[in-house]
Amino acid sequence: MSLEKFLHSLGIRHLVCGSCNGCELEMNALAAPQYDISQEGWGVVASPRHADVITVTGPMSEAMRHAAQMTIEAASEPLVVVAVGDCASGDGVWCEAGSAGPGAGRELEASIFVRGCPPSPDALREGLRAAATLLDGRKS
């Protein structure tokens, strides 16, 4: 295995901002043996301080806005924010509904948007791979 491979390892912190949990079900599927993202050196971490990637779902709920911002601020650079699902990307069913925001990924200035309601595990893996590639560029 070439050493560059390690550049692609990702610590992922997940932020739920008014999601219906459908996106979370598919994010969790990534740990199933059919996908097993731990083989890529990707894993969900216990602190934003350990994160390279923050995945966000949902339109943004009012009560999460502050905690979400604090999570982003707590993470160290370089950091890539990935919007997961149509809600986070800005045109899901709950965007601007009731007191919901315009999309958590839009508010938190995501650089990658993974579409779908919810996105399939394959689409999520592609999104994370794009994040890893982006990070490699920033780290060098």
**Which chain residues interact with other proteins by CB under 8 A?**
13-29, 31-35, 44-48, 58-59, 61-68, 71, 93-94, 97-100, 117-118, 120-121
- The closest alpha carbon to 120, from 32, 14, 4, belongs to 32
Q: Give the residue with the Cβ less far from ligand SF4, 71 or 89.
A: 89
Q: Give the residue with the Cβ less far from ligand SF4, 75 or 84.
A: 84
Please calculate the CA angle 105-107-84 and round it to the nearest 5 degrees: 10
Query: Which of ligand SF4, other proteins, none does residue 85 bind (CB under 5 to 8 Å by kind)?
Result: ligand SF4
Q: Give the residue with the Cβ less far from ligand SF4, 10 or 88.
A: 88
How many Å apart are CA 45 and CA 49, to the nearest integer?
Answer: 9
Q: What is the 3-state secondary structure (H, E, C) of the chain?
A: CCHHHHHHCEEEEEEECCCCCHHHHHHHHCCCCCCCHHHHCEEECCCHHHCCEEEEECCCCHHHHHHHHHHHHHCCCCCEEEEEHHHHHCCCCCCCCCCCCCCHHHHCCCCEEECCCCCCHHHHHHHHHHHHHHHHHHHC
Scanning 15-23, 63-71, 74-82, 103-111 for contacts with ligand SF4 by CB under 6 A, the matching segment is: 15-23
By CB under 6 A, the count of residues binding ligand SF4 is: 14
Contact between 101 and ligand SF4 by CB under 6 A: the answer reads: no
- Nearest distance in Å: CB 96, ligand SF4: 13
Q: Give the residue with the Cβ less far from ligand SF4, 83 or 135.
A: 83
Binding site for ligand SF4 (CB under 6 A): 19-20, 22-23, 57-58, 85-87, 92-94, 117-118
